[in-house]
């Protein structure tokens, strides 16, 4: 005999990745016990995000500014565009502090199964951006999955003739990884791409 | 370079049980991609819960009604009060459909480490309710942990002299459980409490 308000809250929470029905109940209870310190702030933060956060009209990144804070930062190197699947990948790359160019967020990967074709992704706007003579390199930072690699091929194809050089992230042994636990594909790729010391 | 709104949303989401920093980022991204189908409804559902849900003044249950839907349901057996730690335990018992009495939610267990004493729990209101001559039995459905059992002892102590009989849930082999995987304490308790066939 759970009230309809709590029932609905649990049902919505269970749609979050990583939360099932049981952990959604625990989360709802946790929120209810921390009404002022968590439930109210989280509700307000979500309402604010829903209202303020939009996709950047240049690169597709999620931000409350448009163009986003990366695109409007004049210290970024505009000659290089790093193509990622979604904003989470952009965040991951930003955390490394190893990349100082701009991004382009495709908004997904091609998927025959899920019916995602080239026109469902932000590929045309990338081709448009690549026409700018200031842009010299496009780095494809897509997942090393079948869908990610298919997308990389299609993007490369669309960019041919635009004069930019297209590269992709290196495949190899993860830093800190043990060879014994690596899959054959990664090991083969690492061997082929060996570097002189 | 994540915007402050998203940063705050991730930080608040990571306070939910079951979500760490990484899964909170995934959840935030998931929400942002599903603005209308999930982010907005969840924000509204939380705001509604924060406003409407209160602790029942009789039993301490969480509900938008006061007295709660259990306490105000006249078909429930008012002679039996089942004492639970929090509303989540009440929900678990309600799901079994095996109990038709009323509840009393303590709001936690005694904990010397966390400085929770008898006066921090809803024990006085339970003692008050037990004085009603219509109440004949109090069932302690507390966790079989040290804190839960300490609480059970204190509650039993406070209820002595009120004339109600106090019982606790049976300890034993979980239904579907394998003996080989059971801890010694449970196995000992199950052996001692063996039932004639």
DSSP state, A3?
-
User: What is this model's ipTM?
Assistant: 0.84
Inter-chain touch B9–A45, beta carbons under 8 Å:
yes
Using the predicted structure, report yes or no on whether residue A99 has a pLDDT greater than 90. Answer: yes
**pLDDT the model gives residue A193:** 86
How many beta-carbon pairs under 8 angstroms link A with B? 157
Minimum distance, in Å, between the CA of residue A188 and any CA atom of chain B? 30
How far is CA B38 from each of CA B44, B50, B116, rounded to the nearest angstrom?
10, 18, 37
Q: Hey, what domains does chain B have and what are their CATH numbers? A: 4-52 (1.10.8.420), 63-168 (3.40.1360.10)
Minimum distance, in Å, between the CA of residue A59 and any CA atom of chain B? 14
Q: What angle do the packed helices B21-33 and A87-96 form, to 10 degrees?
A: 140
Using the predicted structure, report yes or no on whether residue A22 has a pLDDT greater than 70. Answer: yes
Inter-chain touch A43–B50, beta carbons under 8 Å:
yes
**pLDDT the model gives residue A177:** 81
Minimum distance, in Å, between the CA of residue A194 and any CA atom of chain B? 32
Residue A1 banded pLDDT, cuts 50, 70, 90: low
Residues of B in contact with A67 (CB under 8 A): none
Reported as a single tens digit per residue, the pLDDT across A107-159 is 999 988 888 888 899 999 999 999 999 999 999 999 988 999 999 999 999 99
Reported as a single tens digit per residue, the pLDDT across B85-130 is 999 999 999 998 999 999 999 999 998 888 888 889 999 999 999 9
Reported as a single tens digit per residue, the pLDDT across B116-175 is 888 899 999 999 999 999 999 999 999 988 999 999 999 999 999 888 999 999 888 888
Going by C-alpha positions, the residue among B68, B73, B134 that lies closest to residue B104 is: B68
**Average pLDDT of the residues in B37-61:** 95
CB of A138 closer than 8 Å to CB of A157: no
**Helices vs. strands in chain B: H and E counts, helices first:** 7, 6
User: Cα-flanking dihedrals φ and ψ of residue A88, to 5°?
Assistant: -60, -35
Residues of A in contact with B31 (CB under 8 A): 16, 46, 49
Inter-chain touch A86–B3, beta carbons under 8 Å:
no
**pLDDT the model gives residue B1:** 65
């Amino acid at each position: 005999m759970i009230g309809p308000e709590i029932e609905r809250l649990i049902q919505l929470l269970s749609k979050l990745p990583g939360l099932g029905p049981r952990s959604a109940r625990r989360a709802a209870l946790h929120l209810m016990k921390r009404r002022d310190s968590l439930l109210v702030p989280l509700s307000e933060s979500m309402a604010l995000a829903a209202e303020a956060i939009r996709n950047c009209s240049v690169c597709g990144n999620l931000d409350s500014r448009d163009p986003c804070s990366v695109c409007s930062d004049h210290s970024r190197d505009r000659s290089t565009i790093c193509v990622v699947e979604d904003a989470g990948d952009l965040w991951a790359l930003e955390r490394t502090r190893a990349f100082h160019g701009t991004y382009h967020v495709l908004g997904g990967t091609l998927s025959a199964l899920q019916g995602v074709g080239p026109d469902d992704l932000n590929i045309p706007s990338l081709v448009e951006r690549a026409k700018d003579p200031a842009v010299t390199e496009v780095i494809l930072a897509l997942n090393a999955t079948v869908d990610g690699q298919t997308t990389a091929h299609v993007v490369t194809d669309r960019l041919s003739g635009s004069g930019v050089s297209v590269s992709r992230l290196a495949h190899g042994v993860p830093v800190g990884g043990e060879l014994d636990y690596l899959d054959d594909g990664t090991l083969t790729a690492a061997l082929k791409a060996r570097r002189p010391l």
